[in-house]
Amino acid sequence: MSPKITGELLRQLRQAMRNCKYFSEPIQAYIVPSGDAHQSEYIAPCDCRREFICGFNGSAGTAIVTEQHAAMWTDGRYFLQASQQMDNNWTLMKMGNVLPDDHKGVFSGVYQWKNMSRALTSAGHSLVAVQDNLIDAVWTDRPERPSTQLRTLGLEYTGISWQDKITALRTKMTERKLTWFVATALDEIAWLFNLRGADIEYNPVFFAYTIVGMNTIRLFVDLKRLSDPALRDHLQLDSPSKPELSIQTFPYESVYTELQAICAALGPKDKVWICDKASCALTQVIPKTHRSPIPYTPLCLAKAVKNATEIQGMKMAHIKDAVALCELFAWLEKEIPNGTVTEISAADKAEELRSQQKEFVGLSFPTISSVGPNGAIIHYRPLPETNRTLTMNEVYLIDSGAQYVDGTTDVTRTMHFGTPSAFEKECFTYVLKGHIAVSAAIFPNGTKGHLLDSFARAALWESGLDYLHGTGHGVGCFLNVHEGPCGISYKTFADEPLEAGMIVSDEPGYYEDGSFGIRIENVVLVVPAKPKYNYRNRGSLTFEPLTLVPIQVRMMNTELLTQKELDWVNEYHRKCREVVGAELERQGRKEALEWLIRETQPII
Amino acid sequence: MSPKITGELLRQLRQAMRNCKYFSEPIQAYIVPSGDAHQSEYIAPCDCRREFICGFNGSAGTAIVTEQHAAMWTDGRYFLQASQQMDNNWTLMKMGNVLPDDHKGVFSGVYQWKNMSRALTSAGHSLVAVQDNLIDAVWTDRPERPSTQLRTLGLEYTGISWQDKITALRTKMTERKLTWFVATALDEIAWLFNLRGADIEYNPVFFAYTIVGMNTIRLFVDLKRLSDPALRDHLQLDSPSKPELSIQTFPYESVYTELQAICAALGPKDKVWICDKASCALTQVIPKTHRSPIPYTPLCLAKAVKNATEIQGMKMAHIKDAVALCELFAWLEKEIPNGTVTEISAADKAEELRSQQKEFVGLSFPTISSVGPNGAIIHYRPLPETNRTLTMNEVYLIDSGAQYVDGTTDVTRTMHFGTPSAFEKECFTYVLKGHIAVSAAIFPNGTKGHLLDSFARAALWESGLDYLHGTGHGVGCFLNVHEGPCGISYKTFADEPLEAGMIVSDEPGYYEDGSFGIRIENVVLVVPAKPKYNYRNRGSLTFEPLTLVPIQVRMMNTELLTQKELDWVNEYHRKCREVVGAELERQGRKEALEWLIRETQPII
């Protein structure tokens, strides 16, 4: 890896900072964060501005360029990589106040512009938004913004029409006395209009903004995408049923000018709703007195609670996904003794098997396929230079998932194809106890997910062990595999309470550096529970696993399990066998079915 | 209860608001909170300004007086009482955004002036501090500020001299580059100087402020208190060992002018450390650029981690306290069948028995002594009009504690002197499971107490039950029975991590409205644990109960307990018998000893 040569680029950027047309004084420091304008977790190549300017392409890092200095802040897991990718013009800085890594990063909103602004103000500086990105001004060969074909989803997938979603949104706006709502998160816009795109790898979203008023709907999107007759029909672009459900379309970039125009016409009491994580430039278009920033938008909250149709779709997607994984594990069992399977080829095989399933669209995130010590690297992704061969002697961890038109999956299994050591089994069993403790937990309505996080750790803690990531994240329905506003983590108090219909992952782990990694992850649905009593009529909730892939008994020290835990495993395996078995049978996948039946034999 | 007549008082207050000498414009609204200038939980009669102006004497409430209106905000548990105590000049308002009650209120900093100020500013108003309290101006018969005799504590109680505490504080100041530290919390000042007072009921503190610089110590206190030669000697007032350990004394009220003088002489980089919960008036004396507000002061943090001498004192105090309670329970068992014991007389008996113990100073909070349905009122305190007789048919809950010179206690036991119902036993057993789950939990160093809260609830949740208060609070050593910065609650993220030497309560409960209340509370010490492994060398912690009073086996459904839980109960009772038994023997308290031996028989 040789570092990027950045001297000339920095010279050009500094010139742009001195000559910015929006300010009379030169810009003293230019901040280049990792993200895009839509608070996306994954970003498109045209938005990789921090990588462009400094060369570092890790997922977390913020670059700051001043007249004299250029510095890039990142956290420990990226120090080596950043030092190799950046040239001498750059100083590598250690991220301050960084919490233990969340390998999923769902809640990593720590470096938002608001916090930066607050910090800068208290240090005597001020944060100003620059409408035209200065990096783009010096990035001559910047890739085009993606504009993939849009896919319409009918009621059989979404359960609710976009028109009804708009009406529900306006009801919320009326309740809160808000006149406008600005949607900037790509998954919220995709969900609202029952559309999907492929603009960002792994995330079936498309670049757009939306501004909803009480009588108008403005959609900002590359207009070339709207020529397809089926799409025009879906959005009723040519013959809206009612005037207030008529969508006005605008070019993607015109959101700033259009929002300015809206704000210029606001009455004194009018308020504009916008997510507090929206970009600085767009937020500052709204005068402060009219701005009503919220941590989670009504779309985010509505999207998180899946309706019956979406739940049914998620269940189907998970059955198909389980079929692919049973095939994979049966195949691995056969192939590993030949010494021909590597982390990369196993990941490829998993993708191939998933792609054979109906309505497969793509992966939902890069597959983590890791052998032995690589499994202890939480953010591992196999590369040719790290690629290990699967053997009968090492633990294999695979964390993978897919997008199907009816749902999104995310599953981790940890397997041993030979004889695991007593310590590996012991650790696996503690992780399993944690997984079960969350999955089987009964808790009152209104409980926030972070209150369940310690359940996942209790068994590990009791033996002096732990893992340094959260326990679960929200999962979208044919949308982003990581979504808010709920989750299970020790790190946040800002999550919204769990509700029946929400879908989260349950994924405790244990990582023995230089040796092995263990994680057991199911996607689980929040469902009502009916315990013996009902204190203050609050009602109770629990989880139902949507993931139906056997958990390897060979990795368990069953003597460490309580009767309740054994019962949970046996009941889970019974359900895997029944539901996934029927589908394997239907698809005529005999070897995988035999594997499933063997792996789901009750523990006695 | 007849309401307080407030018409004339409000007229006078409004006149004072119009004519305030500090502002050219009239004050439009005057806010009268519950607290005193030292963020105290309990307050002295001279500080009961909210009660004086509106008549309402509950523990939580904020009054606001404008030219036209007078309104008092409180929460649901006080609506009836407030409506009876306030006349027609006052409007009763429901507290907005109030979380489920924390019956201990340790973390109830929600209505601080900072939040008020923020809210007022965003509504177009501004919060200004008025140096002379306007209520005091119209309160003609206001009680004197208490000025009780000060007690000096030697090294045999404190383990560290006040001089060493000052030195440690200055080391922290140097580390953080702070030139001044302002102490406003009364327990921090008492702890710092190894002094105790009796200015506030239940809390062995005295009214004072302290300002520590790198070379000076200023103590603001009623100067009449400093005549005692032993006290002068303790503080080295007449012959300081070193100039930087020389204490300058000032009248209590002069803290404002003295702080103003200090601030006038600050260098451009000088910073003044002050708790972010300190009073508005005092905080605003410090210019904003020199102010360094912190949630927990270095004194608060140092005080929370008890040293070996303090731990030894706390253990001794808890043994004496257990002796008194064993006596009480043996006496109750004998007396209840006669029908002569009431909630009040039982509480009085408990106090009498505690007062027989060496170095008893007083109670640490008002005793909660409650029979049957009264036990379900979490904030209950027996009054003549609610006083119930203890019988063989109802559950009895007593939550009580004392101040001894060597330590502070706080213990809750729930007993039945006849035959408890199956439901009462079931609920008690779930609460016990929660108590044990916290007490026996092993967790990594650095864990915050709030992460343990769900352990206390899991068994209740599983049956659809819960309790609406936190699980534990910090406990002072011959200081306030509620102290920060640690605790065990679902409500906060702002607690500091638990450390070996910290002392907290463990007190889950269950309350069946109109029927009974259950709570099992021990004070527990955070101690190092030695589990099998030591992940990343972080070390582990667990709890050791300091409270050694038997937990009534008659109330348990032992079939619901796991073997681990049974072992915990048996080991706990073995320790009670051994340690408290020896002291009962020594004190010749035969009946109590017999009771103890019977109540600590192992469950098989």
Residue in chain B lying closest to A562 (CA):
B562
User: Least CB-CB distance to A454: which of B455, B460, B535?
Assistant: B455
Report the chain A residue with the minimal C-alpha distance to residue B528: A464
Q: Do A461 and B443 touch (CB under 8 A)?
A: yes
pLDDT of residue B321: 98
What would the mean pLDDT of A280-290 be, rounded to a whole number?
92
| ipTM of the prediction | 0.92
- Which residue of A lies nearest to B529 if distances are taken between CA atoms? A464
Could you say which residues from 475 to 534 on chain A have a Cβ atom under 8 Å away from some Cβ of chain B? 490, 493, 531-534
Nearest CB partner across the interface for A466, out of B453, B461, B535: B535
Q: How confident is the model at residue A123 (pLDDT cuts 50, 70, 90)?
A: low
Cβ–Cβ contact B461 with A under 8 A:
yes
Partner-chain contact A444 B458, CB within 8 Å: no
3-state secondary structure of B8: helix
Rounded to 10 deg, the angle between the B343-355 and B308-335 helix axes is 140
Residues 396-455 of B with CB under 8 A from A: 441-444, 451-455
What digits encode the pLDDT tens for the residues B192-208?
999 999 999 999 999 99
SS3 sequence, A395-411? EEEEEECEEECCEECCE
| Cβ pair B461:A444 closer than 8 A | yes
pTM, full prediction: 0.94
The alpha carbon of B48 is separated from its chain's Cα centroid by a whole number of angstroms, namely 18
Structure tokens at A57: 């392409």
pLDDT of residue A575: 98
Q: Is A454 close to B458, i.e. CB distance below 8 A?
A: no
- Judged against a pLDDT cut of 70, whether residue B43 lies above it is answered with yes
Query: Residue B123: what pLDDT?
Result: 63
Six-digit token pair at A577?
Answer: 């066998």
Decide: helix, strand or coil at residue B74: strand
Does A564 lie at the interface with B, CB-CB under 8 angstroms?
no
Q: What percent of chain B has pLDDT over 70?
A: 95
The nearest CA of chain A is from the CA of B420 a distance in Å of: 19
What does the pLDDT look like over A509-553, one tens digit per residue? 999 999 999 999 999 999 999 999 999 999 999 999 999 999 999
Answer yes or no: are the C-beta atoms of A587 and A596 closer than 8 Å. Answer: no
**Which residues of B are less than 8 Å from A531 in CB distance?**
461-464
Structure tokens at B436: 């044990």
Q: Which of residues 197-236 of A touch B (CB under 8 A)?
A: none
* Residue A140 confidence (pLDDT) above 60: yes
Q: Please tell me which of the candidates A442, A454, A461 has its beta carbon nearest to residue B462.
A: A442
**Contact indicator for A531, B464 with CB cutoff of 8 Å:** yes
Q: Do B464 and A490 touch (CB under 8 A)?
A: no
Residue A142 to residue A151: CA distance in whole angstroms: 27
Contact B209, B255 (CB under 8 A): yes
Half-sphere exposure of A1 (CA within 13 A, CB side): 13
pLDDT digits (tens, 9 = 90+) for A166-219: 999 999 999 999 999 999 999 999 999 999 999 999 999 999 999 999 999 999
| Best A429, A442, A466, A557 residue to mutate vs chain B (most B CBs within 10 Å) | A466
Q: How many CB pairs lie under 8 A apart between chains A and B?
A: 69
Say what the pLDDT of residue B549 is: 98
Say if A113 is an interface residue toward chain B (CB within 8 Å): no
Nearest CA in chain A to B438: A458
Mean pLDDT value of segment B248-267: 97
Residue with structure tokens 């008659």? Answer: B554
Q: Do B538 and A466 touch (CB under 8 A)?
A: yes
| Cis preceding-peptide flag for B485 (omega within 30 of 0) | yes
Contact B540 A461 (CB under 8 A): yes
* Alpha-carbon distances, residue A271 vs A183, A301, B299 (angstroms): 14, 20, 45
Task: Tell me which chain B residue has its CA closest to the CA of residue A534.
Answer: B464
d(CA B158, CA B299): 14
Helix or strand or coil: residue A92?
strand
Per the structure block, which two tokens stand in for B330? 């043996």
Q: Measure the CA–CA gap between B248 and B265, rounded to whole angstroms.
A: 18
